[in-house]
Copies of this chain bind each other. A is one copy, B any other.
Amino acid sequence: MTSSTLSTTRSAEVNLGNALEDRGLRRTTARTAVTDRIEGLSDAFTAEQLCRDLPGVGRATVYRTIRHLVDAGALCKLPILDGAPMYSIARIEHHHHTVCSRCGAVGEFRHSTVERVMRSLANEIDGDIIGHRMEIFITCNSCLAELAAGNSTING
């Protein structure tokens, strides 16, 4: 993989508790439970998943905390066409997502060419461009491996 234009570098540290504090919000036990749990997850998650994982925290509080974190830019909210949106820690400033259509794993990427294309589209799109979103749907490597394993079993 050439890394001249593709970037998946994760910025030094992410502290969701600090992200909330920076917005003038109190550091409560419920919020700490939520942010700790999110930081402990390696993958993207849904709000309901978090609620199940944290039965000691009220549903309203889980949803409110997620909303704060999205507002703070610390979480990405990724719309899923048929289902609840997924959230993941924003590790790269401006970026796009890969979504595995088989297992739902979400990745982040940045590619300068995408941003260059956006600039070049400015003259050709009616109206003022104020932003964009892009998702790439993939079959992730671990799913490819599983599929290969499954096939080889079937095919002998």
Contacts and interface: CB of A to CB of B under 8 A. Distances in A.
A116 B56 CA distance: 49
Interface in A99-156: 100-101, 107, 109, 111, 113-114, 117-118, 120-121, 123-141, 143-144
A60 interface: no
A43 to B, nearest CB: 14
Given A1-B124, A113-B120, A124-B111, A138 B133 contact: no
Interface residues of A, number: 42
A138 B128 contact: yes
Interface of A: 1-2, 5-6, 77, 79-81, 85, 98, 100-101, 107, 109, 111, 113-114, 117-118, 120-121, 123-141, 143-144
